[in-house]
Amino acid sequence: MLKTSICILSVAISGHVLAAVTQAESSLEHVIVTGSRIIESIDEVPASITVISQQQIQQHLKVNPELGSLLAQMVPGFAPNTGSSSNAGQTLRGRSPLIMIDGVPQSTPLRNGSVDLKTLDPNAIARIEVIKGSTSIYGNGAAGGIINYITKQASRNEQTDAEISLSSRFSAVKLAESVGGRLAASVNGRANNFSYLVTASYAENGVQRDAEGDILGLQYGLSDSEMQNYFTKLSYDFDADKSLQFSYNYYSAQQKTDLADVVGNSNLGEKTYAIHVPVEQQQQGKPQGPDGNVNITLKYTDIALFNNTQMTLDVYSQDIENVFFYSANLANPSAGYNGGQSVIKSKKQGARATFNSQFDFDQVAATFIYGLDALNDVTSQPLVDGRIWVPEMDMQSIAGFLQTKWVINDDIIVKTGIRKENIDLTIDDYNTLKLCKSETQCSVPLAVRGDTIKYNATTYNAAIKYNLTPAFSPYFSYSQGSDVSDIGVLLRSATVNDIALIQTQASIIDSYELGFISQFDQVRFEVNAFRSTSELGTSNKFNEVTGVYEPIRAPQKIWGYEGLINYAISPSLKLIASYSFVEGKNTEEDIYLGAKQISPPKATVNLAWQANDQLGLTLSYLFVGDRKRFDKNSQGEYSGDQGPVSHYSLVNLSGQYQFDQHWQAYFGIENLLNNDYFPARAQSYRYGGYNIKGLGTTATIGASYQF
């Protein structure tokens, strides 16, 4: 029970800080894999890393089941939660992260729809690893870093273990129609050399209500949504060194409702909310959300290929279909379309070979990680009615990499690396669409000549850490990333008739980080400052003539800092706090970047009390600060992603009671004080329909049984 109580501290802090709380946690929290594609001690990583343990994930589920909420609460530098199924604006240090499951990319960077956080149910996750800053360790899409969902492993015991949990979530402001249910189950075991793990989760949401009891608006909404996730992992050990593993993941989360929005004016501070309407006024088109996304991975591992070399070979395939809401902005009255609904379709097939060789010299331990990555990514964004908004983009990429780590005298760690990426991106001839916001505000369709665009990029990284004393362990890191992101936005907004004339060049991001870690008897500190620059960014500007937001590829600079503190007030009372600040500019015009990239300051405080072996309580606090960088336009309104953000705060309460080794009951209350607020994105985004308030007081009660 002591370990469980310590894990309750997890809300709002990174896993490696929690590792200092107890030796029992350190065995997990000091191990990561995403940073260098191998398992290594976090004490030997000269960068800011967040590891969220399985216990921490389960604790946050008591408050909110969405992974976007979990990451916003626990990862400094990750933007505040949006309160919806979309993670648009939830950047990592001002840039988009690459979402992965066991190292397999889930994001669709060629057309980033910002719904990639919802790819797996937390019930299947053993831990989440977050590495911040652009990286040359992995390929395209990791401009802001990596968020890697590490799935559970089967038990090593020669027995079958199982767990089932049942919970209900509902509005404490107005109960009517808000009651939802969630059922999660897992079974795992081992028989001789064969091991297996199966998890299944199913959830239905009732309507989501704000602090006034009104139903939240439907754009990327979670009201009346249904989630299904089925995950399987099968492993066979040929001997102590060699194993073969197969994994399958199916994920679906769609909204099926009889509601419709009452749209408010964000510039007047009016909210958008939903009401019940007749059939003819309900949402048109298909249900929005992931429509049965599938991942399949086959991995072969030999941990003793040679005396000092390990090898991992894996192949994977992925089929993604993310359906978006019906929008009047996709109208073309002259062709008979009063709106439209888009779908991002992406099919990936990849293969990777990773080798890890280790050598011991006099006072120096050296590690070499090297290999090849190959990927075919075919992504498009058609409309449900058959029109092609973003044409099919066929990317073939192959990359070789080498990473080295040198541990000198057990306390100086030096890392260097290089990645050589070759990408061919083929787009056939296509026509841009005529889209109208009004009868007089329409884009101009163009016939665009296709081509094969070739990218060749070499990126580097170097870092050093000096574990001088427990009280002072400084580090510095430099890393580059090559980003061919959101080419789809550039294509669908083309204003020229040849792809060769569109600014589709890859962006090279240079990231710098300087920080230190200090550990005393009862207190642990971590402080870091960061900066990233790129010659080509992807912001946008509204064209008042055509009604289209057109991309701007101008140089960018992003900077900020983060701080963490962990204080053991007593054996039963722990305090953890964090603060993060990020800011950015278009350096060509010396203007601040909008909320699509830059989030307001964020602070978290967490107080955990273990009353006894059975009862534990956690009180968490989130503060989102002001960010007011922009002036109103000529019409006296804010536009795009440039609305001002005013501060707000939230308090959550959760706890559990362990009856015996099998039964546990738990509860969680989100927005305990029923704060009436607009989330940061709802305040800053002045695109239609985003002005939706945050959840009012919402409660979860449940029980789990292990056998």
pLDDT in tens, 556-590: 999 999 999 989 999 999 998 999 999 999 999 99
**What is the three-class DSSP state of 630?**
coil
For residue 663, the cross-strand partners are 705
List, in order, residues 6 or more apart from 142 with CB less than 8 Å away. 97, 98, 134, 135, 481, 483
* Arithmetic mean of pLDDT, 395-400: 95
- The pLDDT of residue 18 is 34
Contact 351, 299 (CB under 8 A): no
**Rounded to an integer, what distance in angstroms lies between the CA atom of residue 565 and that of residue 381?**
44
Helices 67-74 and 54-61: angle between axes, nearest 10 degrees: 110
- Average of pLDDT values for 223-233? 96
| Res 207 pLDDT > 70 | yes
pLDDT score of 688 more than 90? no
What pLDDT is attached to residue 471? 93
Which phi and psi angles does 333 have, rounded to 5°?
A: -55, -35
CATH code of the domain containing 387: 2.40.170.20
Average of per-residue pLDDT across 260-287: 91
* Burial tier of 237 (Cβ tally within 10 Å: 0-12, 13-18, 19+): middle
What H or E segment, with its residue span, contains residue 3? helix 2-7
Round to whole Å and give the CA distance between 117 and 82: 12
| pLDDT tops 90 at residue 685 | yes
pLDDT tier, 141 (very low <50, low <70, confident <90, very high otherwise): confident
CA dist., res. 566 & res. 9, Å (int): 10
**How far is it, in rounded angstroms, from Cα 484 to Cα 393?**
12
Q: What is the pLDDT of residue 61?
A: 87
Q: 629 in the Ramachandran plot: left (φ > 0), alpha (ψ -120 to 50) or beta?
A: alpha
pLDDT at residue 628 is higher than 50:
yes
Instruction: Indicate whether 209 pLDDT > 70.
Output: yes
Which segment of 135-139, 412-416, 567-571 scores lowest on mean pLDDT? 135-139
Phi, psi of 291 (to 5 degrees): -110, 70
- How many Cβ atoms are within 10 Å of 512's Cβ, its own excluded? 15
Nearest to 478 by CA among 495, 493, 460, 466: 460
Span 68-96, pLDDT tens digits: 999 998 899 999 999 999 999 999 999 99
What's the CA gap between 166 and 179, in Å, rounded? 13
Q: How do residues 5-63 score in pLDDT, each as one tens digit?
A: 323 323 333 333 333 333 333 333 456 666 667 788 888 889 888 888 887 888 888 99
Task: Starting at the earlier edge strand, list the strands of the sheet with 273-276.
Answer: 215-216, 273-276, 259-262
For residues 586, 587, 591 and 596, what is the CA-based torsion angle, rounded to 10 degrees?
Answer: 20
Predicted local distance difference test score (pLDDT) of residue 441:
86
Tokens representing 326? 């019906």
Whole-angstrom distance, CA of residue 683 vs CA of residue 334: 34
Q: Where are the alpha helices (DSSP H) in 405-529?
A: 487-492
Q: Report whether 385 contacts 331 (CB < 8 A).
A: no
Identify any residues that bridge with 7 across adjacent strands, giving them in sequence order. Answer: none
Q: With contact defined as beta carbons under 8 Å apart, do 54 and 152 qualify? A: yes
The size of the chain, in residues, is: 707
- Evaluate whether 657 touches 685 at the Cβ level (below 8 Å): no
**Section 544-553 average pLDDT:** 63
Domain range for residue 222?
2-706
Residue 412 is predicted with a pLDDT of: 96
Q: Name the more confident of 167 and 551.
A: 167
Distances (CA, A) of 281 to 95, 216, 324: 38, 17, 18
611 residue type, one letter: A
Average pLDDT of the chain is 89
Residue-level pLDDT at 5: 32
Number of domains present in the structure of the chain: 1
Residue with tokens 């296509």: 430
**What is the predicted pLDDT for the residue at 422?**
93
Give yes or no for residue 623 having a pLDDT over 80: yes
Tell me the β-bridge partners of 415.
Answer: 405, 463
pLDDT of residue 548: 58
pLDDT at 542: 60
Please say whether the beta carbons of 680 and 205 come within 8 A: no
Per-residue model confidence (pLDDT) at position 691: 95
Read off the pTM: 0.91
The tens digit of pLDDT for each residue in 434-465 reads: 999 888 889 889 999 999 999 888 999 999 99
Under DSSP, the state recorded for 37 is S
How many C-beta atoms surround the C-beta of residue 523 within 10 A? 13
CA atoms within 13 A on the CB side of 363: 4
